[in-house]
Amino acid sequence: MRELVKIFDTTLRDGEQSPGATMNIAEKVRIAEQLEKLNVDIIEAGFPISSEGDFEAVKTISRTIKRSEVAALARTNPKDVDRAWEAVKGAKSPRLHIFVSTSDIHLKHQLKKSKEEVIRIAARSVARAKRYTPNIEFSAMDATRSDIDFLSAVMEAAVQSGATTINIPDTVGYAIPSEFGALIRTLRQKVRGIEKAILSVHCHNDLGLAVANSLVAVQNGARQVECTINGIGERAGNASLEEVVMAIRTRKDLLPFHTRVFPKHLFTTSRLVSKITGMAVQPNKAIVGANAFAHESGIHQDGILKEKLTYEIMTPESVGISKSSLVLGKLSGRHAFRERLKDLGYRLSTADLELAFRQFKQLADKKREIYDEDIESIVVEEILRVPRRFKLVYINVIAGNVTVPTATVQMEVDGQLMLEAGFGDGPVDATFKTIKKITRTKSKLLQFAINAITIGTEAQGEVTVKLEEKGQTVIGQGADTDVIVASTKAYINALNKMEFRKQKLVGM
């Protein structure tokens, strides 16, 4: 049977140390509940001595969580330990997490204590915590820059005093994987009684090696990994929980272990943490980034369409993403373009497909993102040449700060001229309402955007509108030096696309 690797999530404690990522109590509880749904083994809820707010957050989370263990952080002094226990004692499975620095740099410049003093206070603090609960974790801060003999002595004292988990933090992200793996092996050999405790690691990402160091530690005997959702945390962050979990799940050949985490909740949890903290997930972030299962290269798209295993080592569904996406752009090939056309309901001849593909490539050279509506426009306007039901003849708008905006519009509808006038909250609103009267359409405006596509006061404006009707959405575009005219063109362009959609659905 594969050995268990416990997942210790510190998003609510170390993750909150990310600049700007402070959370209120309600937000912390919401994330804690999601972490329990994700099925992490331990949730580090906070550092109770640091503030009254953090104390209350840990206390509330402790009373809320039913399955996961809840940990509270404390330094090696009596007040910290007592305050941490007071906050976490209401948990169904409480844990006290005691830490002290062990590197010469920290001892000299921060703690200003001797090695002998540190060993004594570490043992004393663990023993004090042991009065409250048998579930004690001890961490040696800056362990990777510590003297190995002293580090071993501190850990031995912690184990003898009752620590059941011994944590090796790479606090400043200094270690290289081969070096960190060797450190874990050495400590397992040197520290007497270490077999009585679970060996844990807490790796920071200053050199981008947090996940790599965590995994090599597991290969060398660690059975708990401390990490955060999206890898957030102090400075460059922590080991990313989703990356650690999916690496163990994906590479069973080299990592014959398992976690209790339910990976199908990873994406939802990532988005929740991003939303609450305001820290956006980079598009190329592994596992949960917007591009993690997106393919734009023609070669990759061709492979994915033939067999997903060619370019995907895990399924998007396994982490809670509905499906892979083929992003159409200038690097895309005919295979992906043809499949997208099929998805949109078009079956073109070889000649028409070639013509449409050339038009698509020309557009892709000018536009960063190609939407389905862009592809549909190419087919409708350039290939099928579907006649436009609605055509603009002229528009006249009166607006100002002392008059009611009024639009007079003349259009051609199925070859017949029609003229109407209408009022609105502004010139664009008046125009759109008048057009709806003429066309008798019921589409709902979802989006309206204006961009200048040339420079200066005489710049040409490009307007994009998005309409919805009975679950169908279309995008229309129009350009003119007069933004009201550009808006009118875009709206009518979208209405013509919607009419074509209706005809196509009836034909199906």
* Burial class of 500 by CB neighbour count within 10 A (0 to 12, 13 to 18, 19+): buried
In percent, how much of the chain has pLDDT > 70?
A: 95
Is pLDDT at 464 greater than 60 in this prediction? yes
- Residue 289 within a domain: no
Is pLDDT at 54 greater than 50 in this prediction? yes
Contact between residue 43 and residue 71 where contact means Cβ atoms under 8 Å apart: yes
* Burial class of 114 by CB neighbour count within 10 A (0 to 12, 13 to 18, 19+): exposed
- Residue 286 within a domain: no
Output the pLDDT for position 43.
Answer: 98
Tokens matching residue 284: 């190329």
Tokens matching residue 21: 């990522």
Are 360 and 416 within one domain? no
User: What type of residue is 58?
Assistant: V
Report the distance separating Cα 486 and Cα 461, nearest Å: 7
Per-residue pLDDT, averaged over 141-145, amounts to 97
- Residue 475 within a domain: yes
Count of domains in the chain?
Answer: 3
CATH of the domain at 435: 3.30.160.270
Are 440 and 358 within one domain? no
Where is 236: in which H helix or E strand? none
Contact between residue 328 and residue 360 where contact means Cβ atoms under 8 Å apart: yes
Per mean pLDDT, which range of 76-90, 252-266, 316-330 is the poorest? 316-330
Tokens matching residue 186: 């050495």
Per-residue pLDDT, averaged over 18-44, amounts to 92
Cβ neighbours of residue 434 closer than 8 Å, sequence gap 6 or more? 407, 408, 409, 420, 421, 422, 424
Contact between residue 99 and residue 126 where contact means Cβ atoms under 8 Å apart: no
User: What type of residue is 334?
Assistant: R
Are 269 and 301 within one domain? no
Contact between residue 450 and residue 463 where contact means Cβ atoms under 8 Å apart: yes
Cβ neighbours of residue 223 closer than 8 Å, sequence gap 6 or more? 3, 4, 5, 6, 198, 199, 200
Contact between residue 72 and residue 96 where contact means Cβ atoms under 8 Å apart: yes
* Burial class of 291 by CB neighbour count within 10 A (0 to 12, 13 to 18, 19+): middle
Per-residue pLDDT, averaged over 268-287, amounts to 92
Tokens matching residue 238: 């922590």
Q: Which of 349, 384, 419 is the last residue of a domain?
A: 384
Report the distance separating Cα 26 and Cα 20, nearest Å: 17
Per mean pLDDT, which range of 137-146, 291-300, 399-408 is the poorest? 291-300
> What are the φ/ψ torsions at residue 459 (nearest 5 degrees)?
-60, 145
**Whole-number mean pLDDT of the chain?**
90
CA angle, residues 251, 254, 259, in degrees to nearest 5: 60
Report the distance separating Cα 167 and Cα 202, nearest Å: 7
> Is residue 487 very low, low, confident or very high in pLDDT (cuts 50, 70, 90)?
very high
Output the pLDDT for position 454.
Answer: 52
Per-residue pLDDT, averaged over 270-278, amounts to 92
Report the distance separating Cα 508 and Cα 131, nearest Å: 74
Output the pLDDT for position 506.
Answer: 47
Output the pLDDT for position 381.
Answer: 66
- Residue 283 within a domain: no
Is pLDDT at 507 greater than 60 in this prediction? no
Are 94 and 201 within one domain? yes
Q: Which of 357, 384, 411 is the last residue of a domain?
A: 384
> Is residue 131 very low, low, confident or very high in pLDDT (cuts 50, 70, 90)?
very high
Q: Which of 366, 384, 402 is the last residue of a domain?
A: 384
Report the distance separating Cα 34 and Cα 41, nearest Å: 13
- Residue 285 within a domain: no
- Residue 445 within a domain: yes
Are 30 and 117 within one domain? yes
- Residue 284 within a domain: no
Are 406 and 380 within one domain? no
Where is 491: in which H helix or E strand? helix 483-507
Are 207 and 323 within one domain? no
Q: Pick from 325, 359, 367, 401: which is nearest to 477 by CA? A: 367
* Burial class of 505 by CB neighbour count within 10 A (0 to 12, 13 to 18, 19+): exposed
Is pLDDT at 44 greater than 60 in this prediction? yes
Are 222 and 208 within one domain? yes
Is pLDDT at 460 greater than 70 in this prediction? no
Are 216 and 313 within one domain? no
Report the distance separating Cα 167 and Cα 81, nearest Å: 17
By three-state DSSP, how is residue 21 classified?
coil
Are 406 and 328 within one domain? no
> Is residue 18 very low, low, confident or very high in pLDDT (cuts 50, 70, 90)?
confident
Is pLDDT at 68 greater than 70 in this prediction? yes
**Cα R_g (the chain), whole angstroms:** 31
Domain that holds residue 404: 390-507
pLDDT tens, residue by residue, 386-405: 567 899 999 999 998 889 99
Are 119 and 212 within one domain? yes
By three-state DSSP, how is residue 351 classified?
helix
Higher pLDDT among residues 202 and 23, named by residue: 202
Are 242 and 214 within one domain? yes
> Is residue 302 very low, low, confident or very high in pLDDT (cuts 50, 70, 90)?
confident
pLDDT tens, residue by residue, 314-354: 988 999 988 787 777 788 888 888 888 887 767 888 888 88
Per-residue pLDDT, averaged over 26-51, amounts to 96
Dihedral angle sign, alpha carbons of residues 194, 198, 202, 208: positive
Is pLDDT at 505 greater than 70 in this prediction? no
Report the distance separating Cα 246 and Cα 261, nearest Å: 10
- Residue 376 within a domain: yes
Report the distance separating Cα 411 and Cα 407, nearest Å: 13
User: What type of residue is 302?
Assistant: D
Per-residue pLDDT, averaged over 170-180, amounts to 98
Q: Kindly report whether the global pTM for this prediction surpasses the value 0.75.
A: no
Where is 128: in which H helix or E strand? helix 115-132
Is pLDDT at 51 greater than 50 in this prediction? yes
CATH of the domain at 142: 3.20.20.70
